[in-house]
């Protein structure tokens, strides 16, 4: 297995309800992502502020490429 796939497997997708709207959603918790893949979070005043979605997409693309390589030799 490759490094991107190993990283993806460590991320925990969560279901949650937004506090202000009570809208149900699914996503990742930035503080948890920081522990696994700090390149995918952004900071404000030295604190985790949110996720970098494009960085996570690139990681997912790399993981798919690794899977394809392992399935096709």
**Of 17, 18, 28, 24, the residue nearest 55 (C-alpha):** 28
Identify the pLDDT of residue 72.
85
Q: Which residue has the higher pLDDT, 70 or 11?
A: 11
Identify the pLDDT of residue 1.
61
Give how many domains the chain has, as a whole number: 1
Predicted model pTM: 0.84
Number of residues assigned to the chain: 73
CA–CA dist 41, 39 (Å, integer): 6
- 56, two tokens: 């996570």
12: left (phi over 0), alpha (psi -120 to 50) or beta: beta
- 19, two tokens: 């506090």
């Amino acid at each position: 297995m490759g490094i991107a796939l190993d990283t993806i497997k460590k991320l925990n997708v969560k279901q949650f309800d937004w506090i202000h709207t009570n809208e149900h959603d699914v996503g990742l918790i930035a503080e948890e992502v920081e522990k696994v893949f700090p390149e995918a979070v952004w900071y404000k005043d030295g604190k985790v502020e949110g996720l970098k979605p494009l960085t996570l997409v690139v990681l997912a693309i790399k993981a798919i490429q690794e899977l394809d390589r392992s399935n096709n030799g």
